[in-house]
Structure 1
Amino acid sequence: MFKILFIFIAVSFSIDGVYLTQRNQYTREDNEFAPIMTLSKDSEKLVASKNINCDDFTKYALNCTAQAATIYNSTRKRPPMPNKLSEWCSAVRHLTNCATDWNVDCRDVTENYFYEESIKGHIHVLRNICDDEWFISKYQNLPRCIESSAAAWEDCYTKFKRIVDDKKNTTHEWTHYVTHFYLCCARAQFRRCTLESLLDGVNKCSRVQAVILQKFSVIVSQGDVFQDCDFNVIYSNCPDGDPRPDEFLLSKLVMADDTEDAGNRLSAELCFIPVYLGIQIINNL
């Protein structure tokens, strides 16, 4: 099985998690855990052919990578700065479209294709980060927060990706119960790692900003491991114990700040944001 040579972009969230495989080696069930839709057979017929050379997958993947790098190129595995978020989104969208276009044009003429689960994970990220105007508006307030926590965030993500890529490279069946278990453990551990780094008191993140950046981390982790980890996962059996945050850590997340960075008192609306989003994040941990 070949691994696509897409480079890391921005926080390393690219189609490096989408794999090329032989059709007769890969089977999948139709009961997806989230309603993220790709093209159906009927809708595929309505899409104009891109005239892709379906005989050279490697060249196609490299071209997509090079094109994405001209949009946004980063060697660091960390969240994009707010003024670069649109470029990051454009690069992720381009890679996602590349994978979708290949599957539409070439699936019937070659045994090589992109895993649907990874494409859906990327679509999930695009919808919940890049197409969410509310989230984008809040993300614009994070430059100092991202800057001060970037190194710790990168360490968390590097460990997470190492485990995820290792598990995905050992099997074609990412939803097999053993692989699923380890992927879910890694995802939960990553979220705890980023949360701890945001609440360690060292960085320059207000509580509101920490919640927004943690929401980014949760969405990105769902993009890399697009599986239902709420069902039949016994986290206490994870390799390093239960990776989910304890009550003390969660209480720090949902407790509103008394002041903003500039020292002004938060409005009632902003005070509610950490509580509401904190609950949403907790529900996804």
Structure 2
Amino acid sequence: MLILYLVTILFDCLHAVYFDDYDHHPKARGAPSTDDIEFEPVMTLTKDKEKLLTMKNIDCDNFAEYARNCTNDAASVYNSVKKSPPMPGQVYDWCKAIRHLTNCAIDWNSDCKDVTDSHFNEESIRGHMHVVNNICNDEAFLSRYDELPGCIEGSAEAWEKCYAFFKAAVDEQKNTTHEWTHFETHFFMCCARAKFRRCTADALFDIPKVCPYEQAVTLQQFSAIVSEGDVFQNCDINVMYDKCPGGDPRPTGKSLSKLMNQQSHSTSLSSESRVGVILLIFYFVCGLIK
């Protein structure tokens, strides 16, 4: 079965490399129970005509106030001064806040698009939806995430440092232009994303007493998904990583070999976790290996 997973994922990698077939609409993998969802589930990017007839009472002349109110509402659900991953007991509140911000943005873009030039960036909305689909709606992932309190707490400082540099680099590009897919902006954002993944991987897999191997894999998967949410672009093709500021951020073949060897010697790994390790490895292999 594992061989089948390897072959399938490798085929997907090769398909992406040779055909540039990148899916910008990730699929949901199930949903949390209704008791866990305070806000309505994330909608599609545009409303249908029937929903447009029941628009919310939005003052389309005041974008700044609307955005501020959305942020305040989300903060009332999940508000943390720390940028590290949420503790397992807080992850559903974290997800509720993301859902709310996403729905706020979709509401504005749908209801106010004909009366104002102010709008939320749709790439950013898709990035938020990607995080919701691949973390918040994935019960299998959330069940593994429940085991991470010690790993999250022990790696919080290092993870926050990685994210702070990543966020600053990405925001610098986003605040410079609205054309986030412009080749130069795309290049710098992809460099920042790859550097963040390398940074978190180096931190998490270097503290086995704090983050046992399986837990490090899960938290690194979380890191990768979050980075895709912030930079929701295809960074696997035609990115000259060797030209990135500060040097090539991709993991070396030696680093990946170490990961493979450690996995092969970890006979206690569950079959589900082994699949997670394989997926993590191919996260790097698909366009990110030197």
Query: Which of the five TM-score ranges fits, normalised by the shorter chain?
Result: 0.7 to 0.9
Alpha-carbon contact 2:173-2:188 (below 8 Å) kept: yes
2:234 counterpart SS class: coil
Question: Higher helix share goes to which structure?
Answer: 2
Tell me the CA shift for residue 234 of structure 1. Answer: 1.0
Alpha-carbon contact 2:106-2:125 (below 8 Å) kept: yes
1:136 to 2:126 alignment: no
1:64 aligned partner: 70
Cα separation, 1, equivalents of 2:220 and 2:270: 21
Tell me the CA shift for residue 220 of structure 1. Answer: 0.3
1:281 aligned partner: 283
2:163 aligned partner: 157
1:256 aligned partner: 263
Cα separation, 2, equivalents of 1:252 and 1:32: 29
Cα separation, 2, equivalents of 1:241 and 1:215: 23
Tell me the CA shift for residue 275 of structure 1. Answer: 3.3
Residues 271, 215 of structure 1: CA spacing in aligned structure 2 closer, same or farther, 3 A cutoff? closer
Residues 62, 45 of structure 1: CA spacing in aligned structure 2 closer, same or farther, 3 A cutoff? same
Out of 25, 28, 38, which is 1:35 matched to? 25
Alpha-carbon contact 2:127-2:231 (below 8 Å) kept: yes
2:244 aligned partner: 238
- Residues 59-138 of structure 1 mapped to structure 2, 5 A cutoff: 59-138=65-144
1:113 counterpart SS class: coil
Out of 52, 60, 63, which is 2:58 matched to? 52
1:18 aligned partner: none
1:45-92 deviation per Cα after TM superposition (whole angstroms, max 9, x unaligned) = 534301111111111111111111110000111100011000000001
Tell me the CA shift for residue 127 of structure 1. Answer: 0.2
1:114 counterpart SS class: coil
1:221 aligned partner: 227
Residues 267, 58 of structure 1: CA spacing in aligned structure 2 closer, same or farther, 3 A cutoff? closer
Matched to 2:109, the amino acid is N
Alpha-carbon contact 1:253-1:278 (below 8 Å) kept: no
1:185-221 deviation per Cα after TM superposition (whole angstroms, max 9, x unaligned) = 0000000000000111366111111110000000000
1:272 aligned partner: 274
Residues 87, 268 of structure 1: CA spacing in aligned structure 2 closer, same or farther, 3 A cutoff? closer
User: Greater shift after overlay, 72-81 or 56-65?
Assistant: 56-65
Tell me the CA shift for residue 269 of structure 1. Answer: 1.8
TM-score by length of structure 2 reads 0.80
2:179 aligned partner: 173
1:256 counterpart SS class: helix
Give the root-mean-square deviation of aligned CA atoms: 2.2
Residues 251, 98 of structure 1: CA spacing in aligned structure 2 closer, same or farther, 3 A cutoff? same
Cα separation, 2, equivalents of 1:267 and 1:221: 26
Tell me the CA shift for residue 33 of structure 1. Answer: 5.0
Cα separation, 2, equivalents of 1:147 and 1:273: 25
Alpha-carbon contact 1:207-1:253 (below 8 Å) kept: no
Tell me the CA shift for residue 273 of structure 1. Answer: 3.7
Tell me the CA shift for residue 267 of structure 1. Answer: 4.9
Cα separation, 1, equivalents of 2:149 and 2:198: 22
TM-score by length of structure 1 reads 0.81
Alpha-carbon contact 1:145-1:204 (below 8 Å) kept: yes
2:7 aligned partner: none
Cα separation, 2, equivalents of 1:60 and 1:211: 38
1:152-205 deviation per Cα after TM superposition (whole angstroms, max 9, x unaligned) = 000000000000001111112110000100000000000000000011136611
Alpha-carbon contact 2:46-2:110 (below 8 Å) kept: no
Matched to 2:281, the amino acid is I
Tell me the CA shift for residue 271 of structure 1. Answer: 5.8
Q: Give ranges in structure 2 of 5+ residues lacking alignment.
A: 1-20, 27-42
Cα separation, 2, equivalents of 1:44 and 1:146: 44
Cα separation, 1, equivalents of 2:125 and 2:49: 15
2:263 counterpart SS class: coil
Tell me the CA shift for residue 35 of structure 1. Answer: 2.5
Cα separation, 1, equivalents of 2:263 and 2:276: 6
Q: Give ranges in structure 1 of 5+ residues lacking alignment.
A: 1-30, 260-264
Matched to 2:152, the amino acid is I
